[in-house]
Structure 1
Amino acid sequence: MKKILLFTLGSFATLAIALTLLAPSLLGFSISQLGAAVDVATGMGAKLACSGRYVSGFSPQRNLEDLASYSPANRLLELSYNDERQQVSATLLGLGETSARYRPGLGCTLDIGDTSDLDRIRIDKIEPYSAPWPSGDQATDINPRLQRALDDILARDNAANRQTRALLLVQDGVLVAESYADGISTDTPLLGWSMGKSLTAMMLGRLEQLGRAGNLSTPLFQQWQHDERAAITLDSLLQMSSGLDFDETYAPGSDATRMLFNTHSASEVALLSPPRHTPGEHFSYSSGTTNLLARWIAERLGNTPQSSVDFFREEMLRPLGMRNTVFELDPSGIFVGSSYIYASARDWARLGLLMLERGNWQGKQLINEDWVERAQSPNDSSNEPAYGYQFWLNRGGDALRFPELPADAYFMLGNREQVVMISPSTKTVMVRLGWSAGEYPTGANFAEILASATASPEVSAAR
C-alpha cells in the first residue's frame, strides 16, 4: 500500500509540473485554475460525448475532435463509453471523473446529485407522418438549381474546414433544397447551442397563447422578493436586460461553465446572481437569463420534470411534427434552455417557419401574432437594441448586423455558427448547422443562397 501511495504522489507531482509548463501556452488556462479547468473539461467531455454518441449518433473520434475544437486540453480527455448503460465518463489525465447518462427521448444529463426524477419520466413517441414537409417528411418540391447551389456551398465550406453539416432552404413555406455532410442525414439531431434560447422563448409564447402564463407581476421568483431583483420583468429576461451580474465568459470557474458542466441546477446559478444594472436599461447577453426563463416556465407548469416534458412535446413538438428533436434537462429536471437542444435541420426549419407564419401553423394559432411581433422588435436598452425575445435582429442598431441580408431578417444563433434565419420580406427560412471553430461567412453565404432563390424561375412562378 505504501509503495502504491508513493507512486501516486510521485505521478501527481510529475503531472503538476507538466501542467505548470503546459497550461498557459498549450492548454489555454493558468495552473491556478487547474481544479476548475478539470471540472469544466470532464463535465463538458462527458456531456457532449454522451449526446454526440446517443443523440446524434457520432463516433467517439468525431466527438473527441468536436471537443478539441474548444481547447487542446480536451485531447487529453479519456472518454469511456458504456453502450449497455448508454453512459459516458470522462477524466483528464486521470483526474476529475464525471459521467453523463442518456435517457431515450430526453437526451443526456450529467450525473450530478439526485437524478432519479428523470428515470420516472414517461414519453409517448411522435410517429412519422406520410405527407409533404412541413406536415410530414416527404421532400416533394426540391428545386434542382437551388439544390446544386446548396451542395456547392456545403462542399466549399468543408474544403475550407468550416465543418458545415447541414444547409436547408425554405421558400414560400416549401422545402426547396437541403444539403448534408457525410454521416449526417435528414433525421440527424444536431446541437443548436444558443438557438435553444429562441425555442425557450417560443415555449413562453405558447404558454401565453394558451392563457397559462399566469400572473406576470413581479417578483418573478420568490427568492427575489426582498431586494432589487423584485423589479426584474419577464420582458427584461426575454430581452437580456435583466440587470443581473452573470459572468458569460467561457473560462474555468465562470458562471457559464459552472452552470452548464458542474451543477445540479443550471438555473440556480443565475437565480443567485446579484443585481448590477437597472432592469431594462442595459443589455448583457446571458445564458443564465434563459435558464431562468426555463425555470419560470417549469414553475408555471407544475414544477415537475414530467409536466415540463409533456408540455414541450404536446404543445410544440407534436403540432409541428418535430420527431427528431431532443431538449435536454439538467440534473434537477429543468430544461437547459440556453444550450442543450438537438434537432434535425428540418425540425429547426419548422421552428423558423412557425415564426415566419406569425405563430400560425396550418390554420392553428400556436403563438399569438402580437407575441411574434414583439419577439422580432428591438429592445429599449441603451447599448444593444438589436435583440428581441431571445432572437438576434438584423436591424435596430447603428448598422445592420448582416448588411448583405434583408433588414427585417432575424435569427436564432448558436455557438459554432448555428443559424436559423427568418426573413419575412423574402418569405424565407434558412438553416445552417455545423461546427466552425472560427468565423463563418453567414452574411455572404446566405445572401448567395437568397439571390439564387429569388432569381429561380421555378420559385418566381410559384409566387
Structure 2
Amino acid sequence: MRKALASALLACAMTLPTSLAAQDAKPELVGLWAAKKRFGPDVRGTLTLVRDGAKWRAEIAGREAAVEQAGDTLRFTLPGERGSFRGRIEGTRIRGHWVQPRMATSGMRFSTPVVLEAAGPSQWRGEVRPLDDSFTLYLKVDREADGRLGVFMRNPDRNVGRNVDLKHIELKDGRVRLLGKPGGMAEEVEIATGSFDAENKLLSIVIPGRGNTYDFEPADALSDFYPRPGLPAPYAWRAPLAKGDGWPVSTLAAEKIDRAAIERFVQMLIDEPMANVHSQEIHAVLVARHGRLVLEEYLHGTDGDALHDTRSAAKSLTSVLVGAAMQDGARIGPETPVYATLEKALPADLDPRKRAMTLGDLLSMASGFHCDDRDPKAPGNEDVMQSQDAQPDWYRYALDLPMVAQPGGERVYCSTNPNLAGGVLAKVTGEPIEDSFDRLIARPMQFGPYALNLQPTGEVYMGGGAQFRPRDFMKLGQLMLNGGTWQGKRILSADWVQRSTAPRGQLRGLHYGYLWWGIDLPWQAQTLPAYYAAGNGGQVVIVVPKLDLVVAIFGGNYGDKVMYVPQEKYTPEHILPAVR
C-alpha cells in the first residue's frame, strides 16, 4: 500500500535504446515545476444527529443515513461507503469517531475524533474533519554540462521521488519522457511520459496506475519546495505561542539554552539546498526543557495545526497506551499471554512457543514470529501483510505466522508485533482502541485533532502511521520524562515508564525497551543515556532525562537513509551543545 505509486511508476519502466535521438532541450523546462492533486474526501463539515422518538437519523454534506442504536452506542454508514460514524452518548454530548473512505494516496482508512454537542431539542451537532487526501509532486530541472536536462522528483507526502530515482527529462516535438535508475539499475529506463505546452507553460505527466495526468506549472522562489520561502532576513528566534493545549512556554535564556547556537541551527535548516532527492527535508523542530516549550519552528509550508504522519514513531504510542490501561485498572501487563487471550480455545497441536508468547515479547520485538520488516521474504513483513488480501484480519494473519525463534530471545524489528499487542489490549479491555486512546491519553493530555489509521477490518493499526499535531505527539516524550504525569495528571505509573524505557536488549545495534529506542548521546565530554520514538522519514521524539530535555523533529525523507540525521547528527551536534 505504502509503495503503490512507486510500484505503478516502475511497472511501466522500459529500457532505453542505446542511441538517443536529438531532442528539443528547450530552456523553458529548466526550473522548478509543481503539481498537486486532491482526491477528497468531500464528505466533511457539520454532522447532525437527530432523534425522533425511538429513531435516529444523521445528516452531513447533504447526505442522510439511518442511525442504529444499541444501548448508548450510535452508528451509521453513508451509502456508497463515503464515511461512517460510531459514538456513545455521554450526558449531553455524543462522543465518537468518523471513519473516512480509503485514501487514494496511501490505501489506508483513517479514524478522526468527533464531539457532538446538544444544539436544540433532540439534536446534536459536531464537526467532521477527515484527513485530507492529497498528493504534491515537484520536478526540479537543471541543464547539465553535456547539455542534457537533469531532473529529480520530490514528494513531501511519501517521498516517491527517492524510489523512482529520476535522472533526466527529454523533450522532443512536445512529448516528454522522464528517465531514471530505480533500484540502482545500471541503465536508465523510461519512468513516465507526458507532454509540454510551451505556450501555456504546462508540463503534463501521466502517472501510471493512477488514472490521472499531473499538470505541473512553474513554481517560484516562494514555493513550499524550499524550507522557508520569502524569509526577509536572517532567522531570529521567537518564543513559542501559548495555545491553551497544556504546553507552558518559556524562553531559551530562562531554560539555559544558548540562543545563538539555536539560531545557527535553524538557519542551517533554512539554508538547506534542495539540490537532489536526498536533500534533508525537515518539516518541524521543537524543543522543551524543564517541561516548557522553548522552540517551535516549521518549514516547507507546514504549520502547528497540520497533522503530521508519525510513521513508526507511533509504535511507542502502543507502549504508552498499554501502560495507561494498566494505570486505569485493566488486568493486563507484560506477562499477559498472547494466544490464550486472543484465541477462544488453544488447539492441542499449537506450537509450544506460541503458547509461551507474552505481551512483553510483542512490546520488545521478541515474539519469535517470522516477521522481519527488512526481509521481503518474511511472511510477517509489514508490506507483505498489507499487500495481501487473502486474510483481511491482520490479527488472525499474525497469529497464523510461523515461528522461527523462542519468544523473549532475539529482537527482530517487525510492525506486526505492536499491532498484535493492540489486539491483546482491545481484547482485555473490551474497548475499541480509538476509544481507549481518546479516553486515557488524548483528552487528559489535551490533544487536538488526530487521525488513527485502520486495518481492513476497522480496528486501529498500532504498527505505525497515526497522524498528530507535532506539539501533541511531543507530549508523549514529556509524559515519559515526567515519570508518567502530564500537568499533574497521572497517565502512567512511574514503574511502567522505567520498564518501558530501560534497555531490554539490542535491536539494530541500539538499546531497545518496550517500543522505545535507547541511545547514548555525547554532551560536554560526557555520555548521556537517552530514549526516543522514531519513524520513517525522520520522525523522532528524543528524551534526555539528565538534561530535562525533549526534542521533537518531523521530516519528509521517507525511505531514505538521511532520515536518521535528526537523532544521529542534529540532536547531538547542534541542539545538545546549546544546552547548559
Q: 1:224 to 1:21 in 2, by over 3 A?
A: farther
- Equivalent of 2:317 in 186, 193, 199: 199
What is the correspondence of 1:431-450 to structure 2 with a 5 Å cutoff? 431-436=552-557, 437-439=560-562, 440-441=564-565, 442-450=567-575
Which residue identity lines up with residue 260 of structure 1 in the other structure? Q
Match of 1:411 in 2: 532
Q: CA deviation at 1:329?
A: 1.5
Q: 1:49 to 1:388 in 2, by over 3 A?
A: closer
- Equivalent of 1:257 in 349, 365, 383: 383
- Describe the SS at the equivalent of 1:328: strand
Cα displacement string for residues 364-415 of structure 1 (whole angstroms, at most 9, x for unaligned residues)? 2110110100011121579967100001111xxxxx4x55695320010111
What is the correspondence of 1:364-383 to structure 2 with a 5 Å cutoff? 364-380=489-505
- Describe the SS at the equivalent of 2:106: helix
Alpha-carbon distance in 2 for matches of 1:360, 1:454: 24
Q: 1:350 to 1:382 in 2, by over 3 A?
A: closer
Alpha-carbon distance in 2 for matches of 1:93, 1:253: 28
Cα displacement string for residues 74-124 of structure 1 (whole angstroms, at most 9, x for unaligned residues)? 99699xxxxxxxxxxxx9834999xxxxxxxxxxxxxxxxxxxxxxxxxxx
What is the correspondence of 1:103-182 to structure 2 with a 5 Å cutoff? 132=242, 135-136=245-246, 139=249, 141=251, 145=260, 148-157=263-272, 159=274, 161-182=279-300
Whether the aligned pair in 1 keeps the contact of 2:356 and 2:407 (CA below 8 Å) is yes
Alpha-carbon distance in 1 for matches of 2:327, 2:522: 34
Q: 1:189 to 1:322 in 2, by over 3 A?
A: same
Alpha-carbon distance in 2 for matches of 1:64, 1:418: 16
1:321 pairs with 2:446: yes
Which residue identity lines up with residue 427 of structure 1 in the other structure? D
Which residue identity lines up with residue 424 of structure 1 in the other structure? P
- Describe the SS at the equivalent of 1:60: strand
Alpha-carbon distance in 2 for matches of 1:382, 1:174: 32
What is the correspondence of 1:224-373 to structure 2 with a 5 Å cutoff? 226-228=350-352, 229-249=354-374, 251=376, 255-263=381-389, 264-302=392-430, 307-373=432-498
Alpha-carbon distance in 1 for matches of 2:252, 2:10: 57
Cα displacement string for residues 39-63 of structure 1 (whole angstroms, at most 9, x for unaligned residues)? xxxx996326988x96367553379
Match of 2:549 in 1: 428
Which residue identity lines up with residue 61 of structure 1 in the other structure? L
Which residue identity lines up with residue 60 of structure 1 in the other structure? T
Normalising by structure 2, we get a TM-score of: 0.56
Cα displacement string for residues 128-178 of structure 1 (whole angstroms, at most 9, x for unaligned residues)? xxx946744685646664662452242244556211111110111111011
Q: Whose Rg is larger?
A: 2
Q: 1:224 to 1:47 in 2, by over 3 A?
A: farther
Q: 1:167 to 1:251 in 2, by over 3 A?
A: same
Alpha-carbon distance in 2 for matches of 1:158, 1:205: 43
Match of 2:308 in 1: 190
Alpha-carbon distance in 2 for matches of 1:16, 1:140: 49
Whether the aligned pair in 1 keeps the contact of 2:450 and 2:467 (CA below 8 Å) is yes
Which residue identity lines up with residue 227 of structure 1 in the other structure? D
Which residue identity lines up with residue 55 of structure 1 in the other structure? L
Alpha-carbon distance in 2 for matches of 1:250, 1:381: 18
Which residue identity lines up with residue 257 of structure 1 in the other structure? D
Alpha-carbon distance in 1 for matches of 2:450, 2:542: 19
Alpha-carbon distance in 2 for matches of 1:237, 1:336: 15
Whether the aligned pair in 1 keeps the contact of 2:248 and 2:293 (CA below 8 Å) is no
- Describe the SS at the equivalent of 2:472: helix
Alpha-carbon distance in 1 for matches of 2:304, 2:13: 43
Whether the aligned pair in 2 keeps the contact of 1:379 and 1:385 (CA below 8 Å) is no
Whether the aligned pair in 2 keeps the contact of 1:245 and 1:273 (CA below 8 Å) is yes
Can you give the 5+ residue segments of structure 2 that lack an aligned partner in the other structure?
A: 1-8, 17-101, 111-128, 139-153, 167-177, 179-190, 194-205, 213-240, 254-258
In proportion to residue count, which structure has more helix?
Answer: 1
Cα displacement string for residues 164-220 of structure 1 (whole angstroms, at most 9, x for unaligned residues)? 111110111111011111310011111111101100110001011111134854234
Alpha-carbon distance in 2 for matches of 1:166, 1:18: 35
Which residue identity lines up with residue 163 of structure 2 in the other structure? S
Whether the aligned pair in 2 keeps the contact of 1:158 and 1:164 (CA below 8 Å) is no
In proportion to residue count, which structure has more strand?
Answer: 2
Whether the aligned pair in 1 keeps the contact of 2:510 and 2:517 (CA below 8 Å) is no
Whether the aligned pair in 2 keeps the contact of 1:324 and 1:347 (CA below 8 Å) is no
Can you give the 5+ residue segments of structure 1 that lack an aligned partner in the other structure?
A: 1-14, 23-42, 79-90, 98-130, 395-399, 456-463
Alpha-carbon distance in 2 for matches of 1:309, 1:361: 20
Q: What RMSD, in angstroms, separates the aligned Cα atoms of the two structures?
A: 3.8
Which residue identity lines up with residue 423 of structure 1 in the other structure? V
Q: CA deviation at 1:240?
A: 0.6
Match of 1:55 in 2: 131
Cα displacement string for residues 233-288 of structure 1 (whole angstroms, at most 9, x for unaligned residues)? 11111111111111413749963113334443333332221111111111111111
Normalising by structure 1, we get a TM-score of: 0.68
